[in-house]
């Protein structure tokens, strides 16, 4: 919140700073900010930091019709704390073709709010080994 990028409204730079800081502080391999479009029934990748490659990516979209269980969790403002992502009931649609392909073992998804409504999700993913989430995280 003290970042000049955040304070001055430089969204792209702020998202880069936020995702890279999340990756570093939480020690995860992938950290991202996804925006939620209720009317389009989709979430869009605004910015993701890939710690192993030390690079940022953006773009990409998931639609409610393809991952309805996850969208229900987002709409219900659920915080997803998954040490074993493949076994978490809210992530069932990601098991094949995403979690397995990217070797994502653990996930932490936290909704954020704009004007009192879900604006998106901050998603932290850890690859290669299980991450045990602490209450502070």
Residue by residue, pLDDT tens for the chain (137 residues) are 677 767 677 788 889 999 999 999 999 999 999 999 988 899 999 999 999 999 999 999 999 999 999 999 999 999 999 999 999 999 999 999 999 999 999 999 999 999 999 999 999 999 999 999 999 98
SS3 at position 28: coil
Distance CA 14, CA 5 (A): 5
Radius of gyration over alpha carbons of the chain, in Å?
Answer: 14
Whether 61 and 88 have beta carbons less than 8 Å apart is answered as no
From the list 53, 9, 59, 7, the residue with the least C-alpha distance to 32 is: 59
Determine contact, residues 31/48, Cβ cutoff 8 Å: yes
88 alpha carbon, distance to own chain's centre: 15
125: helix, coil or strand?
Answer: strand
């Amino acid at each position: 919140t003290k970042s000049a990028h955040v304070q001055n409204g430089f969204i792209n730079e702020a998202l880069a700073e936020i995702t890279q800081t999340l990756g570093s502080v939480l020690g995860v391999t992938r950290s991202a900010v996804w925006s939620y479009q209720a009317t389009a029934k989709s979430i869009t990748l605004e910015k993701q930091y890939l710690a192993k490659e030390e690079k940022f990516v953006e773009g990409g979209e998931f639609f409610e019709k393809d991952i309805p269980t996850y969208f229900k969790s987002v709409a219900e403002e659920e915080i997803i704390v998954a040490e074993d992502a493949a076994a978490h009931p809210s992530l069932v649609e990601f098991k094949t073709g995403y979690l397995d392909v990217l070797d994502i073992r653990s996930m932490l998804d936290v909704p954020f709010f704009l004007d009192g409504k879900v604006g998106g999700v901050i998603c932290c993913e850890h690859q290669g080994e299980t991450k045990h989430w602490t209450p502070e995280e």
